[in-house]
Amino acid sequence: MSRRVLGLFLVAPSLAVILFLFILPLCLSAVGAFRVDQAWGLGNFWKAFDLYTKDILFSAVIVGLSTVLIGVASVAIGGYLTLGTHPVAVAILRWLYRWPMFIPFIVVGQILRAFLAKNGMMNNVAVSLGLMTPLDATSFLDWRGIVIAFVWKQTPFVALLVAGAMASVNREGIEAAVNLGASRLRILFEIVLPQVTTTLAVGLILSFVTMMSVLSVPLMINAQSPTMLTADIAFRVNSYGDYGVANALGLISLVLAASVAWIYLRISLKEQA
Amino acid sequence: MSEAGFLELTGIESAYGSTAVLKSIDLSVRHGEFVALLGSSGCGKTTLLRAIAGFVTPTAGTIRVGGYDVTQQPPDKRGMALMFQSYALWPHMTVADNIGYGLKLRGVSRAERAQKVAAMQALLGLEGLGERKPANLSGGQRQRVALGRALVIDPEILLLDEPLSNLDARIRLSVRHELRALQQRLGITAIHVTHDREEAMVMADRIVILDAGQIAQQGSPEEVYNKPASAFVAAFMGAENLLTLQGSVEGDRLVIAPGPANALGSVPLASRPLVSGAIEARFRPEAAQLFPVDAIPTLGPGMTFRGLVRSVSYPGGVWRHVVQLGDREVLADSLQAFAAGDQVALHVPAPSLFLFNSDANRIR
């Protein structure tokens, strides 16, 4: 009995931190989403949908598109690291691809702001190479900028997971496919990728949730409407002190993230069956 | 296509960093022949197999199949199928998909593929397992799926990398014969890597014994077993009992000087390339005959030693004795048990006594 008490006593500090700093605020804000003028109601949600339906769709589409592109890029990187035959190219890629992971989102936003602007580095290079005239230059500082920032920042993380999983795929299984005459591309899609789908899904879901919660990138790159939900939440709180609608928007983005996790759970349950 | 030299290796060399793994291997394999590459771990047998398969590019030498140089060809352009030690089945595919993948890559239609896969499953006794995943198969079934995957593309040469080493000892014995029978039925050329002497003996037409990246000896199982060309081969083929003797060549006989355990004796030279000097004598436990010292019958040509039984055990069939001969201990089998402490005469018939000049003589 005393051992059990001692055990509880030992986990109490961390349990308290989770309860009071994580669970409680989450519950309070979820409850707060349903409070309108000291009464219960769905008013915050009607207001949120009324004002921000475009932004909800914008967020879902932007993050969804980024997730797909991250998946494609990380499979390409992991595949080349696993199946690439040029040792120098593989070594360079292995060294290079992880760097964006160590750069904070706000810095990514700043870098890309300078890079993608109408008179930014990307257009300047294109103009000086004679690929276009200064008049044709357009700014990428809209939804495209957000997608580029997300893919740039999150691909290394997913690629790291995917490349690790691919490296642990039985080497002889790959050689057996080579022996039967499979091309590198077919080996990637028919032999290697099916064996790492779970890892890829985990990486993409974690990325999806991370991207749903990034505030700095939409603020830095896309200072216009429609924008992402995080910017709207910050705006409701900072400009109006409107915690009700902010809480409702928070709950909506939680549902978006949870729906992705639900898809993942279904896949992994099906795999186990 | 000529029968002889269907698969022809000439001067194959391979190195791992600065370490030479294969040193000038020459090997010629007939069409339909079953060749076992036998050696201890690290002797280069798997590297040689991988070089034949095309996964290792030799640093020197050529590999020809049916007269065509395939040394620089990729693995799939050599008409060979390799069966891996780990079986290397694809865990996400069913048995039927695993077997049929090679056909899918060759653009065989779905119907024809299903028919060929079914035929292969029937051949290998895998009926009814087509929809299972490899994880739900026994070791023996996985081994047969791997074999089916290799055979379904009709390779001219089947390469086997220790295909039986992951099986239970009991299953292994029957699979040896099944695999051999299948190879003969299909008339396919097979190269089989193994470190198991008995496996090589019962399966192969020809055994190639590798030692430190070189061919130590090659020949039929009877040849390498009864006429080992070197002390290494003799020891590898089970003649672990070692005695050092002094011998001198006199005409067609080798006269052996008296030693701590033997009187003056001689054996026919029988075309052994020996010179006078220190002799390494090797024999198998089952080749020795034990007699009580006071009742030695008349014996044929060979050497008779006197010794003391140290211990005795019964591994089955015969009694195995540890006998001290001078300062050496040897193993000797006998149908009749002797007790520890008995004085015995140990006779080794001349054909079973493998004699080699000791290293010191060879260097000279």
Q: What is the pLDDT of residues B276-320, one digit of tens each?
A: 889 999 999 999 999 998 888 888 888 999 999 999 999 999 999
CA distance B262 to B326: 9
B28 within domain boundaries = no
pLDDT of residue B271: 78
Between chains, do A178 and B105 touch, taking CB under 8 Å as contact? no
Between chains, do B153 and A175 touch, taking CB under 8 Å as contact? no
Provide, rounded to the nearest whole percent, the portion of chain B with pLDDT above 90: 74
| Total count of residues recorded for chain B | 364
Provide, rounded to the nearest whole percent, the portion of chain A with pLDDT above 70: 99
B184 within domain boundaries = no
pLDDT of residue B175: 87
pLDDT tens for A171-219 read 999 999 999 999 999 999 999 999 999 899 999 999 999 999 999 999 9
Q: What domain count does chain B have?
A: 1
Instruction: Pick the closest to residue B344 from B284, B288, B276 (CA basis).
Output: B288
- Tell me how close the Cα of A191 comes to any Cα of chain B, in angstroms: 7
Is B104 in contact with B113 (CB distance < 8 Å)?
A: yes
Going by pLDDT thresholds of 50, 70 and 90, the confidence category of residue B344 is: very high
Residue A92 predicted with pLDDT over 80? yes
B349 within domain boundaries = yes
B116 within domain boundaries = no
pTM of model > 0.90 = no
Residue B2 predicted with pLDDT over 70? no
Q: Any idea what DSSP says for residue A254? A: H
Q: Give, for B247, the enclosing helix (H) or strand (E).
A: strand B241-250
- The number of beta carbons lying within 10 Å of the beta carbon of residue A229 is 25
For the residues B189-213, what does the mean pLDDT come to? Answer: 94
Residue B361 predicted with pLDDT over 50? no
B339 within domain boundaries = yes
Instruction: Pick the closest to residue B212 from B60, B27, B49, B23 (CA basis).
Output: B23
pLDDT of residue B300: 84
CA distance A233 to A27: 17
What domain range includes position B309?
Answer: 239-363
Residue B204 predicted with pLDDT over 50? yes
Assigned token pair, B359? 């290293």
CA distance A239 to A236: 6
B245 within domain boundaries = yes
Assigned token pair, A115? 């890079």
CA distance A271 to A17: 36
For the residues B113-125, what does the mean pLDDT come to? Answer: 93
B322 within domain boundaries = yes
pLDDT of residue A162: 97
Going by pLDDT thresholds of 50, 70 and 90, the confidence category of residue B129 is: very high
Going by pLDDT thresholds of 50, 70 and 90, the confidence category of residue A134 is: confident
Assigned token pair, A39? 């009464």
pLDDT of residue B298: 83
Which residues in chain B have Cβ-Cβ distances shorter than 8 Å to A182?
Answer: 76, 101, 105
Between chains, do A195 and B90 touch, taking CB under 8 Å as contact? yes
CA distance B108 to B101: 10
| Total count of residues recorded for chain A | 273
Is B72 in contact with B63 (CB distance < 8 Å)?
A: no
Between chains, do A175 and B82 touch, taking CB under 8 Å as contact? yes
For the residues B11-39, what does the mean pLDDT come to? Answer: 93
Beta strands in B50-202 (DSSP E): 60-65, 68-69, 80-83, 157-161, 189-194
Provide, rounded to the nearest whole percent, the portion of chain B with pLDDT above 70: 97
pLDDT of residue B3: 56
Residue A181 has its nearest CB partner, among B82, B90, B105, at B105
Instruction: Write phi, then psi, for B356 (nearest 5 degrees).
Output: -140, 150
Residue B273 predicted with pLDDT over 90? no
For the residues B325-350, what does the mean pLDDT come to? Answer: 93
pLDDT of residue B283: 95
Higher pLDDT, A223 or A62: A62
B327 within domain boundaries = yes
> Amino acid identity of B128?
G
Strand partners, B305: B262, B346
Torsion of CA A24, A25, A31, A34, to 10 degrees: 180
CA distance A233 to B131: 52
Is B82 in contact with A176 (CB distance < 8 Å)?
A: yes
